[in-house]
């Protein structure tokens, strides 16, 4: 049974375009803070000023993501989790979507040549450093929680410099290819701004999306 499960995972796993986050010594305070961050699992929800704005975002992002994630319930849960986890970490959800596309192309079981796993390509050493041994980096919520917490940590280390924080996230600090690629993907594919017309049309658009 165990070998059958391993074979199933191998069949679903595809190598991802990613570098390798570098393992480094963390102070006790940082370790404890990150541990608390990845260990708390409230139910995800859309976090917007109004419900209508949340529906508009979900409808628009869902239509963009549909070619890569055709199943509506899976897509809805994924987008809700991304928006919640990014917002919780103080990150732009559009940035996180751009990073996920660039890192794994929205493949849940993607594995890089360096061993980074899942949507946000998290290196397994983070589980040892800040998590629990039962944390599975191929699980949606766990992967997003780790990825967003780690990127937030690097952003704080770099005092808000997103370009350098992205370089750290990829293990390529000092090189421009990765930060430039993530930011370009975000701008090209995932930039978003609410408009009154979009907000008004959101409930009907969501209903149509759910029926696809």
Here the tokens at position 175 are: 């090189």
Q: Is position 197 within any domain?
A: yes
Q: Is position 147 within any domain?
A: yes
The confidence score (pLDDT) of residue 202 equals: 64
**Structural domain boundaries, residue 106:** 12-210
The confidence score (pLDDT) of residue 2 equals: 43
Q: Is position 6 within any domain?
A: no
The confidence score (pLDDT) of residue 52 equals: 85
pLDDT digits (tens, 9 = 90+) for 110-166: 999 999 999 999 999 999 888 888 899 999 999 999 999 999 999 999 999 999 999
Closest CA to 102 of 87, 116, 88, 81: 116
Q: Is position 3 within any domain?
A: no
Q: Into how many domains does the chain fold?
A: 1
The confidence score (pLDDT) of residue 44 equals: 86
Closest CA to 190 of 70, 109, 88, 92: 92
pLDDT digits (tens, 9 = 90+) for 61-94: 999 999 999 999 999 999 999 999 999 999 999 9
Rounded-to-integer distance, Cα 181 and Cα 77, Å: 26
CB 85 within 8 A of CB 44: yes
Q: Is position 2 within any domain?
A: no
Identify the band that residue 175 occupies on the pLDDT scale cut at 50, 70 and 90.
very high
CATH number at residue 57: 1.10.530
Q: Is position 5 within any domain?
A: no
Residue 13 scores a pLDDT above 90 = no
Residue 207 scores a pLDDT above 50 = yes
**Measured CA distances, 129 to 25, 38, 125, 183, 195 (Å):** 9, 11, 6, 28, 43
Q: Is position 7 within any domain?
A: no
Q: Is position 43 within any domain?
A: yes
């Amino acid at each position: 049974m165990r070998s059958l499960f391993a074979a199933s995972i191998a069949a679903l796993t595809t190598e991802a375009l990613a570098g390798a986050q570098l393992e480094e010594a963390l102070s006790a305070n940082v370790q404890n803070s990150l541990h608390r961050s990845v260990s708390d699992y409230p139910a995800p929800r859309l976090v917007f000023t109004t419900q209508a704005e949340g529906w508009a975002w979900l409808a628009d992002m869902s239509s963009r993501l549909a070619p890569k994630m055709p199943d509506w319930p899976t897509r809805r849960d994924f987008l809700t989790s991304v928006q919640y986890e990014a917002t919780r970490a103080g990150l732009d959800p559009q940035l996180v979507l751009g990073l996920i596309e660039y890192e794994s192309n929205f493949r849940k079981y993607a594995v890089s040549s360096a061993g980074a796993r899942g949507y946000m390509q998290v290196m397994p050493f983070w589980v040892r450093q800040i998590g629990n041994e039962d944390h599975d980096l191929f699980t949606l919520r766990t992967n997003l929680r780790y990825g967003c917490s780690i990127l937030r940590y690097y952003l704080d280390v770099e005092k808000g410099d997103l370009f350098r924080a992205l370089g750290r996230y990829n293990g390529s600090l000092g090189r421009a290819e990765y930060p430039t690629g993530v930011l370009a993907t975000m701008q090209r594919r995932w930039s978003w701004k609410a408009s009154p017309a979009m907000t008004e049309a959101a409930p009907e658009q969501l209903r149509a999306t759910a029926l696809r």
